[in-house]
């Protein structure tokens, strides 16, 4: 993507010093490589830390935009950090960066940003603009203005009522039932008197015929009638009696053989 006016995605690593504390050289090289390449992908990376010396020089050298808040030089390490920070920022005539860093108040910062050509700008002492807010809801006119100026304006205004899965399944079931209805009227339930007799009996008896000879559902499913249940029950009884006789015969033969 090259250099973009605004990145598509931004990562903020707050309290960045644990990221590099006791980090092996291989990890620092990978982070440096990512910082180098990620800028051309439309992604921004910001490391936030209280002390700039917490970030390795190789990584710090890839960060063009600098926003430096106050540093207090109470210890020799703090003095070293102040001096190192002042030396890495682009000087401005008449501005003693090393001294100003220790004098900054709340909301003040030294700012050095990249210009359009990618060159670090001259360090300026600036007040940071506080986030704007208000108490209470916004007015309908303000809400409409925010919606109109949104990056997704014109995307979600159109109402789209797509066919749901329920509607698709319902239409499919109705079509299947309509196709199966003519076939169901011509079907006959099984009976001893033959197919024609069963159809005639079911048509003459109406609901009772369905109870006696069975019914066919809208999707072709068959529900057994009284005659079907009686036939199946008789078949099960016959099968049970035959099985019982076989078992008795086998056991009798075995027991008789043992007695002999």
Give the structural domain span for 69. 9-127
Q: Per-residue pLDDT averaged across 78-92, rounded?
A: 83
* Predicted pLDDT of residue 251: 54
Same domain for 97 and 197, yes or no, is: no
Q: What is the pLDDT of residues 70-83, one digit of tens each?
A: 888 788 888 888 88
Tell me whether residue 73 is in a domain: yes
Domain boundary among 127, 148, 169: 127
* Predicted pLDDT of residue 199: 46
Q: Over pLDDT 90: what percentage of the chain? A: 5
Q: Per-residue pLDDT averaged across 60-89, rounded?
A: 82
DSSP codes, 124-138: EEEEPPPPP--SSPP
Same domain for 30 and 123, yes or no, is: yes
Cβ(80)–Cβ(71) under 8 Å?
no
Q: Per-residue pLDDT averaged across 59-65, rounded?
A: 78
Same domain for 55 and 121, yes or no, is: yes
Question: In 10 A of CB 17, how many CB atoms?
Answer: 15
Tell me whether residue 137 is in a domain: no
Distances (CA, A) of 238 to 212, 230, 234, 235: 22, 12, 6, 5
For the cut 60, the answer to whether the pLDDT of residue 198 exceeds it is: no
* Predicted pLDDT of residue 112: 87
Same domain for 185 and 92, yes or no, is: no
Q: What b/e string do you get for 85-97 counting C-beta neighbours within 10 Å, with b at 16 or more?
A: bbebbeebeeeeb
* Predicted pLDDT of residue 260: 43
Tell me whether residue 145 is in a domain: no
Lowest mean pLDDT: which of 33-47, 166-180, 195-209, 212-226?
A: 195-209
Tell me whether residue 149 is in a domain: no
Same domain for 122 and 182, yes or no, is: no
Report the candidate in 14, 68, 18, 12 with the shortest Cα–Cα distance to residue 45.
Answer: 12
Tell me whether residue 108 is in a domain: yes
Q: What rounded mean pLDDT belongs to the chain?
A: 75
Question: Hey, which of 31-40, 98-107, 139-148 has the most confident mean pLDDT?
Answer: 139-148
Domain boundary among 127, 160, 190: 127
Tell me whether residue 244 is in a domain: yes
Per the structure, the count of domains in the chain is: 2
- d(CA 16, CA 46) in angstroms, rounded, equals 9
Tell me whether residue 229 is in a domain: yes
Higher pLDDT, 234 or 118: 118
* Predicted pLDDT of residue 161: 85
For the cut 60, the answer to whether the pLDDT of residue 254 exceeds it is: no
Same domain for 123 and 183, yes or no, is: no
Domain boundary among 105, 127, 149: 127
Q: Which residues contact 52 (CB under 8 A, 6 or more apart)?
A: 60, 68, 81, 84, 85, 88
Same domain for 189 and 121, yes or no, is: no
Instruction: Look up residue 86 and give its two tokens.
Output: 């002042």
Confidence of residue 207 (pLDDT cuts 50, 70, 90): low
What's 43's domain CATH number?
3.40.50.300
Q: Per-residue pLDDT averaged across 123-143, rounded?
A: 86
* Predicted pLDDT of residue 36: 78
Same domain for 95 and 17, yes or no, is: yes
Same domain for 182 and 123, yes or no, is: no
Tell me whether residue 24 is in a domain: yes
What is the reported pTM? Answer: 0.45
């Amino acid at each position: 993507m090259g250099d973009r006016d605004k990145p598509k995605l931004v990562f903020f690593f707050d309290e960045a010093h644990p990221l590099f504390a006791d980090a092996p050289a291989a990890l620092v090289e990978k982070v440096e490589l990512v910082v180098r390449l990620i800028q051309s992908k439309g992604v921004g990376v910001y490391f936030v830390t209280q002390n700039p010396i917490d970030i390795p020089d190789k990584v710090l050298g890839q960060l063009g935009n600098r926003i430096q808040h106050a540093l207090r030089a109470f210890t020799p390490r703090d003095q070293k950090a102040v001096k190192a920070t002042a030396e890495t920022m682009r000087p401005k005539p008449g501005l003693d960066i090393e001294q100003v860093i220790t004098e900054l108040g709340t909301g003040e910062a030294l700012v050095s940003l990249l210009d359009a050509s990618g060159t670090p700008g001259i360090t300026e002492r600036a007040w940071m603009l506080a986030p704007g807010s208000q108490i209470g809801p916004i007015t309908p006119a303000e809400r409409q203005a925010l919606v109109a100026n949104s990056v997704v304006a014109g995307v979600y205004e159109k109402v789209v009522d797509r066919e749901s899965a329920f509607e698709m399944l319902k239409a499919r079931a109705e079509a299947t039932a309509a196709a199966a209805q003519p076939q169901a009227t011509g079907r006959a339930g099984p009976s001893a008197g033959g197919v024609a007799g069963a159809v005639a009996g079911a048509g003459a008896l109406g609901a009772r015929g369905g109870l006696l000879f069975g019914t066919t559902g809208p999707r072709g499913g068959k529900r057994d009638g009284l005659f079907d249940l009686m036939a199946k029950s008789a078949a099960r009884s016959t099968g049970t009696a035959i099985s019982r006789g076989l078992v008795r015969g086998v056991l009798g033969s075995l027991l008789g053989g043992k007695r002999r």
